[in-house]
Each structure stands twice: as C-alpha cells, then as structure tokens.
Amino acid sequence: MNETLRVLAAGDHFVLPGLITRAVAEEVREQPVQVDELMLGWPLEPFGPVAEVTEASDAEDRLIEALVGAEVLITQMGPVTERVLASTKSLRLVVVCRGGPVNVNLDAAKARDVRVCFAPGRNAAATAEFTVGLLLATLRRIPQAHNLLAGQGSWQGAKYYTYENSGLELEDLPIGLVGYGAVGSRVARVLCAFGARVMVYDPYVHHHEIHGLRVRTLDELLRKARAITLHARLTPETRGLIGARELALLPPGAVVVNAARGPLLDQEALCDALESGRVSAAALDTYAHEPLPPESRLRALSERVVLTPHLGGASRAVAEKAARIAAEEVGRWVRGEPLAHCLT
C-alpha cells in the first residue's frame, strides 16, 4: 500500500478547511490521504504584509506548527514565507486558492524544490455578475432610493422620476468594456443579452469573434461609451489607465464602474469629474488604497457613487471552485501528471 499523503488544509472563514478536505478526498483516490485542518482568521481578521509576502494572515507560528510532517499545503491566506519554508523539510507542494500566489515567497520555494500552484479563474463568474450588478445599481439609482426609503423613511423619491435625475436603461446603451479576459468576456455576454450596444477595447486579445464591437483604441471607446466598465489586469502599463484626460473624453454624464483593480483608475480625477458633473455616477468595488481611507473624497459623494468593500469575488461558488481547483492540482501531482497552474 502507498504511504499516507499528509496534507494541511490551512483554510479560513471563506475557503473553509472542510471544503478543501472534501475536495481532496474526492480528487485523490490513488493513495491514503490524511488532511489536517487549520482555520485562519481572514476575512474576520484583516490580511496584510507578513515578513516578505503580501496579502496574508499574520499566522507564521501557527502555520509552522501545523506543517510538521506535511507534504502538501493548500491555503488561501497562509503566509508562506522564508521562515515558514525553512521550518519544514517534508513540504513538496503548495497550492494557493486564489488567482496569484502573492502570499508565497517564490524564490525561497524554488530554492527548496517546493512546487507552487494557484487557482486562476476561480472568481471570474462572480466578479462578472457583481460588475453587472454594480452597473445596474448605478444606472437606476437603486442604493440611493433604498437609503431614502429604508434609511430616512421617506417615500419622496420623486426627484429620481424627473428626466434630469432618472436613470439609464441597459437596452441600446453604448457601454465600453476595457479588457476582455475571463471577467470582461462574461460581462459582455450578459450585457449583449440585455440589448446593450457593447464595445470592447483590449489590445492583448485577438479573438476572431467577440460579444460586441471591437474598437481599435481606448480613446475611440471612451468617446462613444455612455458607461464604461474596467476589466484590465493591473500592470505597470495599465496603472492609472483611466485618468483625467481619459475621463474628459467620455460623453457628459457618463458612468464609470470598476470592480477590477483600484489603481487602474485615478480616484482623484474621478472625484473631480463627479463633482463637476462630467461623470454623472460611478460604482467602485476596488480602490487605490484598501481599506478605503476615512478621509477619501468618495465618501462625500454618496449621492453619485456606489461603494462596496471589495466583494466582487465573495460567493459560495468561488470558495467551492477554489478548493476544487486546488485539489485537482494535488491529484495531478500525486499521479505524476503535469501541473496546470504552476510557477515553480
């Protein structure tokens, strides 16, 4: 009989350790598996930099203790630092249940011959749905109307029925999508189903068929779109992609939605455009600095903005998909097959 495979499921209150355990049990049938569970504090406790890694739970000591004898670590927020890796001689595979292993010291892992995998695409559907939800909420003034009735007890929503303050419909609305990856392509399909006039700008995607009209330049898209949604990856080239110049190209009264990465958008320029009326409304789920600082100008623009605290990927299906994708990588590793999403 094969020796028992030792796995540590260092989950949290989103990707539950039990989800990881069940996914591993379903995927790895070639040999006996012992899964030990560790519960980390996120999201009830904030993540942040830990030693030399980012976006991790401050739990190095707990992880070191739990990793004794483990060959495989599956985690979302565990801090896989130089110190953690140096503490174990048995570890051979780390699988991170997220789109990128920012909580892993890749150089230290490679030096110790520890393979590192991740789970791309786990939240694409959830983020796409959330983006469309933000767009609908913003166009139709849903949060403002809710606050008026539920918060203030007022039925006097008449101002939202005036021509000047009433919202826009998705049907026939020219909407520009900046980016056409896993999220942007899903948003495009949904918006086309609503009857929107979808335009797409993505210089890195060369599909012969897309949902919507491909435009050649970002400026062309901005000049034609009455609403834009951002879906680009954050790179040195895309940081600050939408700034004061770009916002000025939008038709007066346009709407901006960003559920991708906060630094894609110049928030100060957006606030200027909102205050001047050049942009009529915006919806944001991500920010240049998170948590959103108390002094942020966005907080004073509640009549014009919808703000959510980075919840685009918060669905039960995302947690289940993340655990399944991670377990599939463990299965490939056990069977000696090529790993699908591996960086070391």
Residues forming the active site: 261, 290, 310
| Residues written for the chain | 344
Contact 228/257 with Cβ under 8 angstroms? yes
Q: Which residue carries 């890749």 as its tokens?
A: 106
Contact 232, 264 (CB under 8 A): yes
The pair of structure tokens assigned to 293 is 């600082």
The CA-to-CA distance between both ends of the chain, in Å, stands at: 30
Contacts of 251 (CB under 8 A, 6+ apart): 223, 224, 225, 226
Q: Which residues pair with 73 in a beta bridge?
A: 8, 94
Q: How far apart are CA 167 and CA 260, in angstroms?
A: 24
Taking every pair of Cα atoms in the chain, the longest distance, rounded to a whole number of angstroms, is 75
The two tokens of residue 99 are 């789109």
Provide the CA 175 distance to its chain's centre, in angstroms: 21
